[in-house]
Amino acid sequence: MNKQNSRYRWIVFAAVLFTYFLIVSQRTAPGLISDQLMKDFNLTAATIGLLTSIQFLAYAGLQIPVGIFSDRYGPNYFLIIGAVLNGIGTLIYSMAPNAFFLLLARLLAGIGDSTIWVNLVLILSQWFRVQEFVKLLGMAGMAGSLGFLMATVPYSAWISSFGWRAPFFSTGVILCLCGLMLYFVLVKRPKQLALTDSESGVKKAVRKKGQKRENTLLLLRRIFSSRQAWATFLCHFGLVGTYVGFIGSWAVPYGMHVYGMTRSGASQLIMVGLIGALIGAPLTSWISSRLDSLKRPYIIVHIIVCLSWIVFLIFGGKPPIYLLMILFLIIGYGNGASSLTFAVVRQSFPIQEVGVVSGFANTGGFISAVLLPSIFGKILDHFHAASISTGYRYGFMIPVMFTLLGLIGGLLIKGKRKEAEQTGEVTA
């Protein structure tokens, strides 16, 4: 039976998205306890920034290798291993006795996380037709936003009730069990149902065309010299990294220190941004379909998000609370809209290169997420003797500059029309 015609594909979809939902929650959940870690382990703001950065550094550094190997050997086992590694890292984090184990834990979590999105994209492309794929990619983006949402008020309430170690320990156990579940769903059960392909999608494509696989170095050289690949890299750098990097490390402390909020209150404020992210993926995809364009709506999103960060500078790092909520809603919307990056990849590159180019584009977002927390932390440390809002005011210059680079990426996207019957894609 063909995978793309089987009902079982919806079980695959649910299992993969649930795992992705949990893993995404662990990107930002540590940000809820930044101030607690500083007290418990006597850490500086720069060290807290490093904790976030090391996770995203591992993620960013492995995106291209993961894309290459997943294209070549298939995505199933990489997704399983990633879920287990993320679970183990979260368990170590929950039991860490000192800063070294905190860093080790976030490194393992980052390595595990690095396998998730690229392989999710490849698994969905194997199990679903092109017309379904575009819609489900938006749903996957929503699942990620729900993961971020869980790491606000619900996780904050859990931490307040039981301390910070128990929630991370429980989540680590569940993630390890998710790895076991994925083995049965992606590997064992499809074999029993005779749904397993003997070859990966890329191998089939190469064999069908009677071509040899392109040398990896030549492939990378061609991608690195591609304007379209760099455009997607910069787009993700500007939208994803600024949002994830700030939410994952400094958003809750910002609300507590600058506005005098409780941890729960700051989490509720950040939740507004996550609601924006939930709206961003499906709404922007719908708009781009109505306009028959990816580039135009994407450029508008980049402009609006960049202007939103500039507003923080205009108000000296402390805009009025009502405006703050609007700004986080818009910035969150931009993060959700970043799913258009992978729509551009899909419509611009051959299917056998989608994994590695997706990895390259995703690298941009998480290089930004690596740089922002550390630079932001160093700025806060530099202005520690001044008022707390002064440090944040200068810190907000970083996301402004990063989103300007994202806007440049949007402008660099080249329109490309393909036969709709063959690809089901829209024009950039």
Res 213: pLDDT? 61
Percent residues over pLDDT 70 in the chain: 89
Report angle CA 408, 249, 399 to the nearest 5 degrees.
20
24 neighbors 135 (Cβ within 8 angstroms): no
Q: Measured in Å, how far apart are the chain's first and last C-alpha atoms?
A: 35
Mean pLDDT in the chain? 82
Integer-rounded Cα Rg, in Å, for the chain is: 21
Report angle CA 187, 189, 191 to the nearest 5 degrees.
70
What is the C-alpha separation between 186 and 97, in angstroms, rounded? Answer: 36
Residues whose CB is less than 8 angstroms from the CB of residue 59 and which lie 6 or more positions away in sequence, other chains included? 110, 111, 113, 114, 366, 369
Res 184: pLDDT? 92
Res 34: pLDDT? 81
pLDDT in tens, 225-249: 889 999 999 999 999 888 877 876 7
Residue that the structure tokens 């703050």 belong to: 324
Could you tell me the two tokens for 270? 């950040």
Res 1: pLDDT? 55
- H-helix segments, 29-115: 34-41, 45-73, 76-95, 99-113
Could you tell me the two tokens for 225? 């010299």
Could you tell me the two tokens for 70? 């997943």
Check pLDDT > 80 for residue 415.
no
Q: How many CA atoms lie within 13 A of 297 on its CB side?
A: 28
pLDDT band at 320 (very low <50, low <70, confident <90, very high): very high
245 neighbors 54 (Cβ within 8 angstroms): no
Phi, psi angles (nearest 5°) of residue 317: 85, 0
Res 330: pLDDT? 93
Domains of the chain: 3-194+215-423 (1.20.1250.20)
pLDDT in tens, 327-382: 999 998 998 888 888 878 877 887 777 778 888 888 888 788 778 887 888 888 88
Check pLDDT > 60 for residue 2.
yes
Report, as an integer, the average pLDDT of 283-307. 87
pLDDT band at 414 (very low <50, low <70, confident <90, very high): confident
Task: With CA atoms as reference, report the closest residue to 27 among 114, 124, 118.
Answer: 114
Res 428: pLDDT? 52
Which has more confidence, 81 or 70? 81
The amino acid sitting at 298 is Y
Contacts 24+ apart (CB under 8 A), 98-104: 98/41, 99/41, 99/43, 99/47, 102/37, 102/41, 102/51, 103/50, 103/51, 103/54
**pTM for this structure?**
0.73
The amino acid sitting at 336 is G
pLDDT band at 386 (very low <50, low <70, confident <90, very high): low
pLDDT in tens, 139-162: 887 888 788 778 777 888 898 888
Check pLDDT > 90 for residue 88.
yes
Which has more confidence, 208 or 337? 337
Give the relative orientation of helices 354-382 and 397-412 as an angle to the nearest 10 degrees.
Answer: 160
> What is the helix (H) or strand (E) element at residue 22, kind and residue range?
helix 9-28
Res 86: pLDDT? 94
pLDDT in tens, 92-140: 999 988 889 999 999 999 899 988 888 888 888 788 876 676 677 778 8
Check pLDDT > 70 for residue 198.
no
What is the C-alpha separation between 264 and 279, in angstroms, rounded? Answer: 23
50 neighbors 374 (Cβ within 8 angstroms): yes
What is the C-alpha separation between 204 and 216, in angstroms, rounded? Answer: 18
What is the C-alpha separation between 79 and 183, in angstroms, rounded? Answer: 9
Q: Which DSSP category does 214 fall into?
A: P
Check pLDDT > 80 for residue 385.
no
Res 62: pLDDT? 87
Phi, psi angles (nearest 5°) of residue 320: -55, 150
